[in-house]
Structure 1
Amino acid sequence: MYAVRHSGTAHFADTSTPGPAASQLGMRRHNLALVLRIVATHTDLSRADVAARTGLTRAAVSSLVDELIAAELVREGPTASSGRAGRPGRTLTLNDSGPAGFGLEIGVGHLGACVVDLRGEVRVWRRVERANAHRDPADVLAALADLATEARTEAESSGLRPLSPMLSAPGLSGPGPAMLTHAPNLGWHDVPIATLWPGPDTPQLENEANLGALAELWTAHAPANFLHVSAEAGIGAALVIDGRLYSGSRGFAGELGHMPVHPDGPHCTCGSRGCLELYANQEAVLHAAGLPEPTATDPVTVLTEHARAGHPGALDAIERAGDALGIALAGAIGLFDPAAVILGGAYAELGAWLLPRIRRQLETRLTVRPFDVQTVTASPLGRRGPILGAALHTIREILRNPAALG
């Protein structure tokens, strides 16, 4: 099993002067990543083509490619026709077997597992509807570990080798390895994922909204500056600036769900009044629609089916949720000036009914500066964003630093 050193790992300063060997090693690692990225972003390139694009010598590229092939990251295909004199080379492509990204997900009402190959293509997808709120974390993690084992077995049967997983969860992670400090919609606080995880390969942990935003960025559905808003039981947001996730000074950025939209509204569980979640999370919308919380069916599916059928209560409740979202987003857009706003999670599936009301609110409220309300869109990833982002995270790290595979 390979392990990947992720970018969140702390690095201590080395005050010594690096010698020639260290400099050569660093340069080789840089060039290894450069060659891998060239192969990942272009098709039908030979070793000579890679040398021409990178400025490296053919001998250096050949050595680096051999190393990438040995690590099962690159494979050679048919002979390429370069149009140049000399013997034609074989094409280089990312390996569609070998190391793979592995994403896991804990939702309030489901568990998930996803494996993607080096090209980012989904090869294994598992989702199990399961009520996790206020359940014993150890019990939930045991069920997730079983699902992860099933997904890993299926992936390995097709030649993939899933790396250490990334876990998407609806909460905030804290100091220490995989510590879920605050997940109010699960009813969990200070849950030591690393301690409770049954078996080897403890997953790393990241907030679901953050991973959903990164999935939008990495799959080329989003510009370099955008706001991602998603919802199921709770409402989360993530801000991407110049292609990088902005987490805030303490990692708490994105708490859109507890932005007051009606200051004189009802009390929220957070202690404030009139928060967005009281009007626009799935429980609030179901209640406003006069629909009971389903026990065997996904709540978003219930809302979508009723809206498509023209159910007056469902349509009215979703539209009022859109108004509340529009009010909250007007403030966020005025403060951060994103190029786009992308609705993910449940909001993506309800976008046909939410977007008109959101845009109407933005047209009314954003009068000081121009903003194209058509840049507020629903994600094509739907509710797959967070777990896809979790799986893609490892692939991105491999492309950034293939030498970290060990």
Structure 2
Amino acid sequence: MSAPLHEARPAGPGRALPDTQQGMRRRNLARAMHAVRAEGPLSRAAVASRIGLTRAAVSTLVDDLIRWGLLEELGPERPGRVGRPGSALAVSGRGPAGIGAEVGVDHLSVCAVDLRGEVRARAVRRRVNRGRAPGPVLEELDALVRRVVAEAEQEGLWPAGLAVAVPGLVARDDRTVVRAPNLGWHDTDLAALLPTGVPLTVDNEANFGALAELWLGAHTPGDFLHVSAEIGIGAAVVVDGRLLRGTRGFAGELGHVPVHPDGPRCACGGRGCLEQYAGEEAVLRAAGLEPGEDLVGLLARRADEGDTGVRQALRDAGTALGIALTGAVNLLDPEAVVLGGALAGLSPWLLPSLEAELASRTAGPVCPVSVSRLGPEGPLLGAAHSVIRAVLDDPATVAVRQ
């Protein structure tokens, strides 16, 4: 894998730039990038109007962004306008790419996303990772990353960073998996086992799923509780457009909220956790089905065919979810609850009992529940887009590559 010559990690979404003349210039570069990405193609004059700077100041910023390969000129604007036509600017389809990866209990996946937000390369490997040592799993992930990077490089892209979504607790250093019960991993330093040569960020899969919903979801509010699931169940809280991480970065462990304190033992060491009633494997057990490669597809297909056992198992799972969510909704008062991950594909059978529990147990007005259109793709896309957002929020970080 070719390594970009970054000298410092990108500032990242929400990270403050220094309050200096250089910091102000970097913020203006970011404002120009975001304006073109949100509303482009735009002329220099239009960008100046959008961000409130002079045309001369914007022209200097734009020249740098073009030189760094972040913007491109498309030629004169459409004919028919009064005055001298300006050159239309657009976000480049070449240059930096965000590499997102996900370590799932039953799969590994990697994708490359360009500055326009388009997925340009992808690789998936179905493999049961539960109980496997981190080293071999991450060797396979590294091979997938290298494959995706090679495909992206053929299209003129280079990796600005790698973000990895994992089903577990991640330390504040953004690289160490403190505990991933469904993988059996403890205190695993992914940076030491993934020597990719690019800036690395590791985060909980539910956090990346929530960020994807915030950035890519349709009409998602700035305050919401995002719930996702595969074998386990995770959640993330977004407040004012930012993740609520908690003191140690472990906020959102909804799957280990006890819904029946005397229930079965959970992989976390507790009893009666939500995962034991609403995780994929728990629903399969309750429905009397054997695990397969496509658990969600199997459950949805059987439920759609009218299988009473599967439908009852999904109703019970929805009830358990509603009980756990009621506590979170009463405590946090979010604008909405968003179901993502595997839960999105099973929502027709989960929602009635889930919403009934919320309606009967919530102290205030009933919190609306919506279904993510991203489904199980959310964590992977959120990981890749987090790298892209870091470039957009501080474009000067790529200058050292020139």
Which category describes the TM-score, using the shorter chain as reference length?
A: over 0.9
Partner of 1:266: 264
Matched to 1:5, the amino acid is R
Alignment of 1:198-277 (within 5 A): 198-201=195-198, 203-221=200-218, 222-277=220-275
Q: Is 1:165 aligned to residue 162 of structure 2?
A: yes
Could you say what secondary structure the match of 1:185 adopts? coil
- Separation in structure 1 between the aligned mates of residue 162 and residue 327 of structure 2, nearest angstrom: 36
Could you say what secondary structure the match of 1:164 adopts? strand
| 2:117 paired residue among 109, 116, 120 | 120
- Separation in structure 2 between the aligned mates of residue 37 and residue 202 of structure 1, nearest angstrom: 22
The range that moved more, 106-115 or 85-94, is: 85-94
Partner of 1:371: 366
Partner of 1:360: 356
- Separation in structure 2 between the aligned mates of residue 132 and residue 161 of structure 1, nearest angstrom: 29
Partner of 2:126: 129
5+ residue gaps in structure 1? 15-21
Partner of 1:338: 334
**C-alpha contact (below 8 Å) 1:171/1:180 kept by paired residues:** yes
In structure 2, the CA distance between the partners of 1:13 and 1:90, relative to structure 1 (3 Å rule), is closer
- Separation in structure 2 between the aligned mates of residue 281 and residue 50 of structure 1, nearest angstrom: 48
Per-residue CA deviation, residues 304-330 of structure 1 (Å, 9 max, x unaligned), is: 222222222211111110010011111
| 1:26 paired residue among 13, 16, 23 | 23
In structure 2, the CA distance between the partners of 1:249 and 1:76, relative to structure 1 (3 Å rule), is same
Partner of 2:288: 290
- Separation in structure 1 between the aligned mates of residue 326 and residue 274 of structure 2, nearest angstrom: 13
5+ residue gaps in structure 2? none
Deviation at 1:198, TM superposition (A): 4.6
- Separation in structure 1 between the aligned mates of residue 302 and residue 29 of structure 2, nearest angstrom: 53
Could you say what secondary structure the match of 1:165 adopts? strand
- Separation in structure 1 between the aligned mates of residue 346 and residue 53 of structure 2, nearest angstrom: 50
In structure 2, the CA distance between the partners of 1:341 and 1:82, relative to structure 1 (3 Å rule), is farther
Q: Is 1:190 aligned to residue 204 of structure 2?
A: no
- Separation in structure 1 between the aligned mates of residue 157 and residue 118 of structure 2, nearest angstrom: 12
Partner of 1:91: 88
Partner of 1:399: 392
Partner of 1:17: none
Matched to 2:314, the amino acid is I
Q: Is 1:37 aligned to residue 22 of structure 2?
A: no
Deviation at 1:30, TM superposition (A): 2.1
- Separation in structure 1 between the aligned mates of residue 21 and residue 320 of structure 2, nearest angstrom: 57
Deviation at 1:52, TM superposition (A): 2.5
Deviation at 1:26, TM superposition (A): 2.4
The range that moved more, 22-31 or 123-132, is: 22-31
**C-alpha contact (below 8 Å) 2:12/2:387 kept by paired residues:** no
Deviation at 1:127, TM superposition (A): 1.6
Partner of 1:5: 9
Aligned sequence identity (%): 51
Q: Is 1:301 aligned to residue 297 of structure 2?
A: yes
In structure 2, the CA distance between the partners of 1:143 and 1:278, relative to structure 1 (3 Å rule), is same
In structure 2, the CA distance between the partners of 1:357 and 1:2, relative to structure 1 (3 Å rule), is farther
Per-residue CA deviation, residues 268-295 of structure 1 (Å, 9 max, x unaligned), is: 343433211111111111111101122x
Partner of 2:373: 380
**C-alpha contact (below 8 Å) 1:225/1:241 kept by paired residues:** yes
Could you say what secondary structure the match of 2:161 adopts? coil
- Separation in structure 1 between the aligned mates of residue 240 and residue 112 of structure 2, nearest angstrom: 28
Deviation at 1:150, TM superposition (A): 1.1
Could you say what the CA RMSD is over the residues aligned between the two structures, in angstroms? Answer: 2.2
Per-residue CA deviation, residues 96-146 of structure 1 (Å, 9 max, x unaligned), is: 111111101100000000111112121222221111111121100110111
Could you say what secondary structure the match of 2:334 adopts? coil
- Separation in structure 1 between the aligned mates of residue 190 and residue 85 of structure 2, nearest angstrom: 52
Could you say what secondary structure the match of 1:310 adopts? coil
- Separation in structure 1 between the aligned mates of residue 129 and residue 267 of structure 2, nearest angstrom: 19
Deviation at 1:348, TM superposition (A): 0.8
The count of residues paired between Structure 1 and Structure 2 equals 393
In structure 2, the CA distance between the partners of 1:186 and 1:317, relative to structure 1 (3 Å rule), is same
Deviation at 1:2, TM superposition (A): 5.3
In structure 2, the CA distance between the partners of 1:95 and 1:176, relative to structure 1 (3 Å rule), is same
Could you say what secondary structure the match of 2:149 adopts? helix
Q: Is 1:74 aligned to residue 84 of structure 2?
A: no
**C-alpha contact (below 8 Å) 1:231/1:347 kept by paired residues:** yes
Could you say what secondary structure the match of 1:77 adopts? strand
- Separation in structure 2 between the aligned mates of residue 369 and residue 185 of structure 1, nearest angstrom: 35
**C-alpha contact (below 8 Å) 2:12/2:389 kept by paired residues:** no
In structure 2, the CA distance between the partners of 1:2 and 1:320, relative to structure 1 (3 Å rule), is farther
**C-alpha contact (below 8 Å) 1:2/1:99 kept by paired residues:** no
* Superposition TM-score, scaled by structure 1 size: 0.91
**C-alpha contact (below 8 Å) 1:102/1:162 kept by paired residues:** yes
- Separation in structure 2 between the aligned mates of residue 369 and residue 73 of structure 1, nearest angstrom: 47
**C-alpha contact (below 8 Å) 1:142/1:198 kept by paired residues:** no
Deviation at 1:201, TM superposition (A): 2.8
| 2:321 paired residue among 320, 325, 348 | 325
Partner of 1:18: none
